[in-house]
Chain A
Amino acid sequence: MSLFRSKRSALPGFNLSLGYTVFYLSLIVLVPLSAVFIKTSGMTWESFLQAVGSPRVLASYRISFGASFLAALVNLVFGLLLAWVLARYPFPGKKVIDALVDLPFALPTAVAGIALTAIYAKNGWIGQYLEPLGIHVAFSELGVLVALTFIGLPFVVRTLQPVIEELEPEIEEASATLGANRWQTITRVILPELVPPLLTGFALAFARALGEYGSVVFISGNMPMRTEIVPLLIITKLEQYDYRGATAIAAVMLIASFVLLLIINLLQKWSRRYHRI
């Protein structure tokens, strides 16, 4: 108690606000989340392995992790392009484009899902030109990739944009003065500065894509072994009243999410330290 008291400030409300925060956090988040691990720990090792390691489940991990990784990679390229253009170049309508980058956050995933399906379907606005070329987007692996790229885009742009805006112009001037051309300045001076936020943005987009459900289910066609993502498989198991199977897969995914959260926290710390110097 005395330890606490010495650290306490003269402002009122510490006990009340901390008590309420911890109580509400436990009630809504911690206790329900713990149910996944407590239910899973009630399973035997064999039945757990069977639930999380059957060929169909393994295929869904491959699709979810693979497509999320590729989507985050695509976002790395286009996110950097967008963040760079928004931070550096003046052009008419910039405010609108800047606001639009957040559309994937604001647009409900189910709406994004049916809209993307409509565009990339055989007779859709883009699909009708891709289909003759033999490129099938809707109801294929490519569709999963398109949906996951759509929802992950703002993470990369919004992580990079403030860092690019705050880059000191002096370092570029110094680089130019010392005889570097523009290309050398970008690749050897600017890009290294952007590595921490690029990695953070990538990890955020990847983590978001891994759990995504709404935008994918409409465009993917949900074919087992081909386009069935993990969240969909959990729902399928629930609909078959296989609660244990669903919970075991959920436990695996939760652990993956927590590891990613840890990596993201470390990356953000690194990023902050990097830019204070």
Chain B
Amino acid sequence: MASPAISHLHSPRSTLAGGAPRATHDPVWVRWLLTGLALLFVAFFLVLPLVSVFAEALRRGVGAYFAAFNDADAFSAIRLTLLAAAISVPVNLVFGVAAAWTIAKFSFPGKSLLLTLIDLPFAVSPVISGLIYVLVFGAQGWFGSWFSDHDIKIIFAVPGIVLATTFVTFPFVAREIIPLMQAQGTDEEYAAITLGASGWQTFWRVTLPNIKWGLFYGVILCNARAMGEFGAVSVVSGHIRGETNTIPLHVEILYNEYNFVAAFAVASLLAVLAIITLVLKSFIEWKYNQGRAET
């Protein structure tokens, strides 16, 4: 569902805006006024919140900033966030490739339904994304008693956090590479098969190089969401300090304890992650469009 909003890769950018002045151009004062308004809006609405994270984190100086990280709970929150991303991103990457191969290379009944179902997690509230796993694995849930009999904890434990993270990041990779693979068609794969390549050889040497930027793009967005997810993880975590807190949940705890400097210091890690994500995203878009221009 969020595809048109996230993705730039599939829409070729025209170069109209930079061309020669047209008789149909807006008057200069209109251009200045609209550009000024847009910049003002971006400055107040987007830049200010981002800057405020770092300003609040450094309010009591660099020493207090770094003190926030000298804490076992913060450390374990960072470790859990990395773990959840390290599992959910590769799992959804494999799924995305399998789904894209099915949908882009073959025709079969029910294809558009499958596409819609893959998008479902984008339409579900994060809170409900957590709730569904409580209903399945929680103490009152379908398999809850079986798991508790076998001494396996899923809800209020690490597996629940990984599951919820996997759910909310489910469509990201698939969403990026399905349209890309569809646009590329099947000619190159047919050529490879005809020349005697096996299925896996075709995939590794022909398909994968063609979709590598799309994959990279999907993985970056998937990772950003995996590390930053709050609502879904909040429902299944149980907020056990040092055990089931991710970075965003640790931020919430510190904030609710009025430990603002530490909360913003830990939050600044996620803000840096967001900036890196945006830079990489722009880089891939640039690289991809360059590749298009050359061919």
Which A residues have a C-beta under 8 Å from some C-beta of B? 4, 7-14, 16-18, 20-22, 24-25, 28-33, 35-36, 39, 78, 81-82, 84-91, 95, 97-112, 114-116, 118-119, 124-126, 149-150, 153-155, 158-159, 162, 165-166, 169, 172-173, 175-176, 182, 185, 200-201, 204, 207-208, 210-214, 218, 230-232, 234-235, 238, 243, 246-247, 250, 253-254, 257-258, 260-261, 264-265, 268
Contacts and interface: CB of A to CB of B under 8 A. Distances in A.
| Residue from B8, B136, B231, B279 whose CB has the most chain A CB atoms within 10 Å | B231
B282 to A, nearest CB: 5
A1 to B, nearest CB: 13
Contact of B35 (A28, A89, A106): A89
In the A-B complex, the 9 residue pairs with the closest CB atoms: A108-B228, A211-B125, A12-B199, A213-B231, A214-B230, A32-B132, A106-B274, A231-B127, A35-B135
Given A115-B49, A158-B4, A211-B124, A35 B39 contact: no
Nearest to B275: A106
B292 to A, nearest CB: 14
Contacts of A25: 95, 99, 114, 117-118
A176 to B, nearest CB: 5
Contact of A28 (B2, B167, B190, B281): B167
Given A200-B4, A235-B127, A21 B46 contact: no
B167 A119 contact: no
Majority secondary structure, B binding face: helix
Contact of A35 (B37, B41, B56, B142): B142
A100 B51 CA distance: 12
27 contacts: A8-B106, A9-B105, A11-B105, A11-B106, A25-B114, A32-B132, A36-B128, A36-B131, A88-B17, A103-B278, A106-B228, A108-B270, A110-B252, A114-B53, A115-B267, A119-B49, A154-B6, A155-B2, A165-B17, A169-B22, A172-B24, A207-B123, A208-B2, A210-B125, A211-B125, A231-B126, A261-B123
A246 B98 CA distance: 35
Contacts of A91: 35, 39
Given A89-B31, A214-B230, A18 B131 contact: no
A110 B248 contact: yes
A12 to B, nearest CB: 4
Nearest to A233: B127
A102 B123 CA distance: 19
Interface in B77-99: 95, 98-99
Nearest to B30: A182
Nearest to B16: A169
B157 interface: no
A80 B203 CA distance: 41
Nearest to A170: B24
A156 to B, nearest CB: 8
B290 interface: no
Interface in B48-82: 48-50, 52-53, 56
A100 B5 contact: no
Nearest to B231: A213
B180 interface: no
Contacts of B56: 115, 118
A108 B248 contact: yes
Contacts of A112: 49
B47 interface: yes
A35 B49 contact: no
A22 B115 CA distance: 11
A258 B56 CA distance: 39
Contacts of B202: 11-12
Contacts of A12: 193, 198-199, 202
Interface string B228-239: 111100110000
B216 interface: no
A29 B37 contact: no
Contact of A108 (B229, B264, B278): B229
Given A115-B50, A115-B267, 11 more contacts: A13-B105, A39-B135, A90-B18, A97-B42, A108-B227, A110-B251, A155-B5, A158-B6, A176-B24, A201-B5, A261-B120
Contacts of A4: 108
B119 interface: yes
Contacts of A36: 128, 131-132, 135
B5 to A, nearest CB: 4
Contacts of B224: 105-106
B123 A118 contact: no
B120 A13 contact: no
Given A28-B166, A105-B6, A257 B34 contact: no
Contact of A250 (B37, B95, B128, B167): B128
B48 A126 contact: yes
Contacts of A11: 105-106, 186, 189-190, 193, 199, 202
Contacts of A28: 163, 166-167, 170
A46 B139 CA distance: 25
Nearest to A159: B4
A41 B131 CA distance: 16
